[in-house]
Amino acid sequence: MRIAILGTRGIPANYGGFETFAEQLATRLVSRGHQVTVYCRSHHVPKEMKEYRGVRLVVLPTLKHKYLDTVVHSYLSVMHAIFQRFDAVLICNAANAIFIPKLTWTGTPVAINVDGLERKRKKWNKLGQMYYALGERASVWFATEVVTDAKAIYDYYLAEYGVDSTMIAYGADVERKLDAEAIKEFGAQPEDYFLYVSRLEPENNAAMVIEAFRRTETKRKLVIVGDAPYAEDYKKHLRELAGDDPRIIFTGFVFGSGYKSLQQNAYVYIHATEVGGTHPALIEAMGYGNCVLAYSTVENIEVVGDAALPYETAEELSRLIGELDADSSRVAEYRAKAQQRVEAEYSWDSITDRYEALFEKLAARK
């Protein structure tokens, strides 16, 4: 099959969850004999890069702007894809749903992975929230198939729009390897830090994590991995909360082998995100053998099951940090549970199986 993936920043992954997803899915589909094209943004992937691990790359420009970056690039991607005669197109992010008719009207079947409930994110103004609400409706109206990555999001689309979407979760690898040299540049040592990974935006609760950590007396560090291109005031606020505490380390964005090493060498992983569907960093943390502390939302608990320790407040998080700091046997117990759950529910190969079946279903409708 000739398959296209658009709506991400592109591959190789150097930003976030959708990019990692696109890389993992595209490269696996290529290994199975499919021809896969991934559309990339020119300020994330070099223009001269035409291929990555057998995946064809189409690098197109966009406007590097908080509100226009995604939609401008996706519009250009769709206009290019119209003439490529793909058997199936996967669009990522409900914000891009308004462009679906340009493809379906030319006979190209389209699946859209709607992500989470993006309109609930605090970073968006009223206009942004209204646009994402429109994106939800457009996904339902125009897509050949709607894909959700969590039961909570599936239930929302069923209740709100009467759509029986195809539910396919995010994936992760299962492995753990301690390597002091690999994380030395971040000022950390194996199993001597608590790890937090997320875009630094209010609904991801980095502030709560910092406040909870500072209340503890642990000698371990808190490594905060992440950034946000349009949130300078909030990032300044986080650094003010951290103050002069030498235990707190901000790394900025980290990708590839550095990110993997930070995940694999952590003592405990703290997940604090409250908006969205399946959060890639959470499943990756479990796959890399971390004991996970998970903020208690429906979506997060759906992912972790009984393989993580939930909390609802900064006080509870602070208490758990202190308890686990002194109880390595409990940490080991939840590490094993986490990897067992990923092996059973979230392996990349099984996720690829489900997308391949979806694309075959789409291609049959041409």
CATH number of the domain within which 78 lies: 3.40.50.2000
Residues 188 and 158 in one domain: no
Q: Residue 135 burial (CB < 10 Å; 0-12/13-18/19+)?
A: buried
Are both 214 and 159 inside the same structural domain?
no
pLDDT (0 to 100) of residue 314? 98
- 323 and 187 fall within a common domain: yes
Q: 28 and 161 share a domain?
A: yes
pLDDT of 124: 66
Give, in order, the Cα–Cα distances in Å from 205 to each of 208, 229, 312: 5, 17, 11
Domain hosting residue 305, numbered range: 180-345
Q: What is the C-alpha separation between 341 and 278, in angstroms, rounded?
A: 14
Q: How confident is the model at residue 270 (pLDDT cuts 50, 70, 90)?
A: very high
What pLDDT score does 255 carry? 86
80 with 193, same domain: the answer is: no
User: The sheet that has 221-225: what strands, in order across it?
Assistant: 248-252, 221-225, 193-197, 268-271, 291-295, 309-311
| Percent residues over pLDDT 70 in the chain | 96
Condensed to tens digits (0 to 9), the pLDDT of residues 97-133 reads 999 999 999 999 999 999 877 656 666 677 767 877 8
The sign of the torsion formed by the CA atoms of 205, 209, 214, 215 equals: positive
Q: For the chain, give the mean pLDDT.
A: 93
Whether the pLDDT of residue 16 is over 90: the answer is no
C-alpha dist (Å) from residue 278 to 271, 297, 308, 318, 346? 12, 11, 15, 24, 11
Total number of domains in the chain: 2
**Most confidently modeled of 10-14, 202-206, 286-290?**
286-290
Residues 151 and 161 in one domain: yes
pLDDT at 39 over 80: yes
Instruction: Assess whether 140 and 117 both reside in one domain.
Output: yes
Same domain, 268 and 147: no
CA atoms within 13 A of residue 309's CA, in its CB half-sphere: 22
- Look at residue 120 in the predicted model and tell me its pLDDT: 63
Looking only at the bridges linking them, the beta strands covering 145-148 and 166-167 are parallel
pLDDT in tens, 146-184: 999 988 899 999 999 999 999 999 999 899 999 999 999
Each residue of 87-98: pLDDT tens digit?
999 999 999 999
Q: Please check whether residues 96 and 227 belong to one and the same domain.
A: no
Q: Are residues 202 and 134 in the same domain?
A: no
Q: pLDDT digit string (tens) for 43-84?
A: 889 999 999 999 999 999 988 876 688 889 999 999 999 999
pLDDT for 92 = 96
Q: Are residues 199 and 154 part of one domain? A: no
The mean pLDDT value for 218-238 works out to 93
Say how far apart CA 39 and CA 160 lie, in whole Å: 31
For residues 22 and 52, state if they share a domain.
yes
Name the amino acid, one letter, at 67: Y
